[in-house]
Chain A
Amino acid sequence: MQQLWLIPLFPLIGFLINGLFGRKLPKSAISLVAVGTVVASFLWVLKTLSAIMPLETPHIETYATWIQSGFVNIPFEFAVDRLTAVMLLVVTGIGSLIHVYATGYMAEEDGYYRFFAYLNLFMFFMLTLVLGNNYLLLFVGWEGVGLCSYLLIGFYYLKNSASTAGNKAFIVNRVGDFGFSLAMFLIVIQFKTLTFQDVMKQAAQVPVEHAVGMMTVICLLLLVGAAGKSAQVPLHVWLPDAMEGPTPVSALIHAATMVTAGVYMTCRSATIFLKAPIAMEAVAIVGLITAVLAATIGMTQWDIKKVFAYSTISQLGYMFLAAGVGAFGPAMWHVVTHAFFKALLFLGAGAVIYSMHHEQDMRHMGGLRKYIPITFGTLACAWIAIAGVPLTSGWFSKEAILGAVYHHSPIMYWIAVLTAMVTAFYVSRSMFLTFFGEFRGAAVPAAGHHGHGDEDDHGHDDHGHAVEKHDDRAHAVAHNAAHDTEPHEAPFVMWGPLAVLAALSIVGGFFDLPHFLEPALPPAEHVAHEAWLEIVGSAAGILGIVIAHIMYVAKPEMPDALTAKLGGLYRLVYDKYRVDEAYDLTIVDPLIGGSRSFLWKGLDAGLIDGMVNGAGSTARLVGGFARWIQTGNMRTYGAWVLVGAVAVLAYLGIGGGVR
């Protein structure tokens, strides 16, 4: 026993302390508790892992029965294998860094204790997700992180857009959970257990042709679940809105950890997936589509966090693509490297926003390189990593994925390469807009924004929101302050973690993670390494950077011309392909309208209650007819009684009943 339960317990304790007493604690104590518990958890992970390495087989600890009903027996059971170990390190490691960062970023906020309580709770659930040794415990973490995501997105609950975004995240995730839970039921039916090892063992033994239908259904449902959590098309809509949350949250939850849970889950279920080729194909296609669409949207956005959000979606699509082509190891590798650089990007963006006094629109930035050099330096590391500049971490994982994809399907490969180039382009675009050129802080008037930023639009116009956020934030510095004061560098607690992550982003790829993960994943077919693939991939990344440099540094007037030329297509992409609007139009509005006018007013109040009341009215009608006998006049009643008496007696008398 390695007391694995202590790992999630530390953050839980932090949550309880901050949640119950945080209101009365000083900020320093809150920070200490929050950061301390997570760091303790990280240390405990290190200690545990060092004890149980090399982990050729999973290390399992069973604590108690949770649910026991008939043959369904679900224990509280934690397990660590190599997959888990990687996730544990990522979660606790990056989690610790982001906690540290957040103490700086959130220093001025109201609800400081609340934020850290939620964040600790998130750590608890995320660790439960990672550690749980059966699907239901994974589901606990799965739903739990969803909850924390909901809470943290809606952290600025005074803002309608924030709470709406929270709701959206939770509900879209619920749709995914719908699939996930159905998949679980099928797993129980098929394998009579939810414990990973047992399921995988049985699944591995199932002949492909025997239960392929079942496996396909299970995997497709799992895919729905994973798509929900990992923001894959068509359930990606919540993630951009989730940027309403504080930036550390975006970094931790919506970039580094939670959103990769879908990938983690897919890799966990790899054995089952391998039995369902159709589902694998579906995973790959979903991943590819997501990657492309999100990347193209990313090119058009102005809000720095939105850009990174779409980037995240796109990168997640990459991971799914990898998983879909059977490259689970590279997928996980990308999870890790992505965690590094995307967390860094978000934290860096957070530092930028911090230094810009909560301005997020890149058109208001520019030339920040001079004001916040440390931030720029660290962000540049993430930039080159995500762009796939050779020998950075992102390059390794990306090339691994592209290699696997090529062997699966060249068409997919070329699309993926194109996407890689687009990725490099939009990241570079945001970097150039932010750090290069002249500072445009006062140049762009607020009125220049698009006028359809309506509060009640359920937040699909991020642009408008950025402005409102700026105006509405309860703690906000005065509106003009952003323009009057110059951007300033973030404090050490903020750029410290950035530095660590920057280092990891650069060197994080030298560790051959797929190889490390081999014992934990089903054996994948090894394909020959082809050098030209790497060259093409690297070239795509660099080309993207170059194009961006041309458009945004060398010829700043070019984007506008291009935009004008593209016209409708640009608008479509800029509006994120109008997926939100389509959902509203096809699902949300009919559902609410139909519920209100048909199900409630029509069916419930009209038909059913109408029938009930109709029964009552009918009875009343019949009673109304019978009522004329009941005159209410007692003498008439008496006369009737007399009539009855005479009649009865006469009958008895004549009939001889009385003798």
Chain B
Amino acid sequence: MDTLLFALFAGIAILSAVVMIMQRHPVSSALALVGVMGSLAILYLLLGATFIAAAQLIVYAGAIMVLFLFVIMLLNAGAEPKPLRQSFLARALGFPLGIALIAILGFLIQRTVPPDSVVVRFADAKAGSPQDIGRALFTQYLLPFEVTSVLVLIAILGAVVLARKET
């Protein structure tokens, strides 16, 4: 069952990711990204990270991506036209480099974490419930948490200032 679910959702994730980068239309890309995120949430669940899975859906899919979608719709961004000039380097190197990156990373992962060293079973997950996270968050990670809250506050202010109409 684990294997099945993993295979299914990992497949969906990768497929969605490919769709996302291949689609010319930003809305399609956004939707594909939501697909990736949803699949990832399932993968998190499989890894026992229930809270993160829910947070993934709520924060990423439910808030951030909606924001993206909202902006795309607000700007009524259409499919990418052919720009007058475009980066030769990016166009020529993008794919080969990416494939190379996959290969190298895969190679490195294979070498550093051999497949038979650790296996994932849903039932074996030791931590990841909201209680665990909350406990760690408000003890060990209190300072980063507070700092992050300040960051968010600043981001709010920044966004408001940036998006405000000129008076």
Chain A residues with CB under 8 Å of chain B are: 631, 633, 635-636, 638-640, 642-643, 645-646, 649-650, 652-653, 658-659
Q: B24 → chain A, closest Cβ, in Å?
A: 15
Assuming the contacts A631-B87, A636-B87, A646-B100, asked whether A658 and B108 have C-beta atoms less than 8 A apart, the reply is yes
Q: Which of B30-38, B60-68, B91-99, B124-132 participates in binding chain A?
A: B91-99
- Report B99-134 residues with CB < 8 Å from chain A CB: 100-101, 104-105, 107-108, 111-112
B86 within 8 Å of A by Cβ? Answer: yes
Is the beta-carbon distance between A653 and B104 smaller than 8 angstroms?
yes
Which chain B residues lie closer than 8 Å to A639 at the CB level? 87, 89-90, 93-94, 97
Contact with A along B124-155 (1 / 0, CB 8 A): 00000000000000000000000000000000
Query: Closest 10 CB pairs between A and B?
Result: A635-B90, A635-B87, A636-B87, A639-B90, A639-B89, A642-B97, A649-B104, A633-B87, A636-B89, A646-B100
Q: Can you list 19 A-B contacts (CB < 8 A)?
A: A631-B87, A633-B87, A635-B90, A636-B90, A639-B87, A639-B89, A639-B93, A639-B97, A642-B101, A643-B93, A643-B97, A649-B101, A649-B108, A652-B108, A653-B104, A653-B107, A658-B108, A658-B111, A659-B112
Complex Cα spacing A639 to B107, Å: 22
Which chain B residues lie closer than 8 Å to A643 at the CB level? 93, 97
Please pick, from A631, A640, A645, A653, the residue contacting B108 in the complex, using a CB distance under 8 A.
A653
Number of A-B contacts (CB under 8 A): 46
Complex Cα spacing A217 to B143, Å: 79
Which chain B residues lie closer than 8 Å to A652 at the CB level? 108
Number of residues from B at the complex interface, CB < 8 A: 16
Complex Cα spacing A111 to B117, Å: 107
- If over half of B's interface residues share one DSSP class (helix, strand or loop), that class is named, otherwise mixed; here it is helix
Which chain A residues lie closer than 8 Å to B93 at the CB level? 639, 642-643
Which chain A residues lie closer than 8 Å to B97 at the CB level? 639, 642-643, 646
Residue of A nearest to B93 (CB): A639
- If over half of A's interface residues share one DSSP class (helix, strand or loop), that class is named, otherwise mixed; here it is helix
Is the beta-carbon distance between B87 and A642 smaller than 8 angstroms?
no
Which chain B residues lie closer than 8 Å to A631 at the CB level? 87
Which chain A residues lie closer than 8 Å to B104 at the CB level? 646, 649-650, 653
Which chain B residues lie closer than 8 Å to A640 at the CB level? 89
Complex Cα spacing A633 to B86, Å: 8
Please pick, from A635, A636, A649, the residue contacting B105 in the complex, using a CB distance under 8 A.
A649
Residue of A nearest to B109 (CB): A658
Q: A238 → chain B, closest Cβ, in Å?
A: 67
Please pick, from A633, A635, A645, A659, the residue contacting B101 in the complex, using a CB distance under 8 A.
A645
Complex Cα spacing A658 to B108, Å: 7
Which chain B residues lie closer than 8 Å to A658 at the CB level? 108, 111-112
Residue of A nearest to B86 (CB): A635
Residue of B nearest to A659 (CB): B112
Is the beta-carbon distance between B90 and A638 smaller than 8 angstroms?
yes
Q: B101 → chain A, closest Cβ, in Å?
A: 5
Which chain A residues lie closer than 8 Å to B112 at the CB level? 658-659
Assuming the contacts A635-B90, A639-B89, asked whether A646 and B111 have C-beta atoms less than 8 A apart, the reply is no
Residue of A nearest to B98 (CB): A642
Complex Cα spacing A639 to B91, Å: 9
Complex Cα spacing A124 to B9, Å: 105
Complex Cα spacing A638 to B105, Å: 18
Q: A647 → chain B, closest Cβ, in Å?
A: 10
Which chain B residues lie closer than 8 Å to A635 at the CB level? 86-87, 89-90
Complex Cα spacing A650 to B97, Å: 11
Which chain B residues lie closer than 8 Å to A653 at the CB level? 104, 107-108, 111
Most B CB within 10 A of own CB, among A642, A643, A645:
A642
Residue of B nearest to A642 (CB): B97
Complex Cα spacing A111 to B7, Å: 107
Residue of B nearest to A651 (CB): B104
Q: B75 → chain A, closest Cβ, in Å?
A: 18
Which chain B residues lie closer than 8 Å to A638 at the CB level? 90
Complex Cα spacing A646 to B104, Å: 8
Complex Cα spacing A544 to B94, Å: 112
Residue of A nearest to B90 (CB): A635
Complex Cα spacing A633 to B84, Å: 13
Other A-B contacts than A639-B97, A659-B112, 11 sampled, CB-CB below 8 A, are A633-B87, A635-B87, A636-B90, A639-B90, A642-B97, A645-B101, A649-B104, A649-B105, A650-B100, A650-B104, A658-B108
Complex Cα spacing A658 to B105, Å: 11
Complex Cα spacing A635 to B108, Å: 27
Q: A130 → chain B, closest Cβ, in Å?
A: 76
Residue of A nearest to B94 (CB): A639
Which chain A residues lie closer than 8 Å to B90 at the CB level? 633, 635-636, 638-639
Complex Cα spacing A170 to B147, Å: 71
Assuming the contacts A635-B86, A659-B112, asked whether A646 and B101 have C-beta atoms less than 8 A apart, the reply is yes
Residue of B nearest to A657 (CB): B108
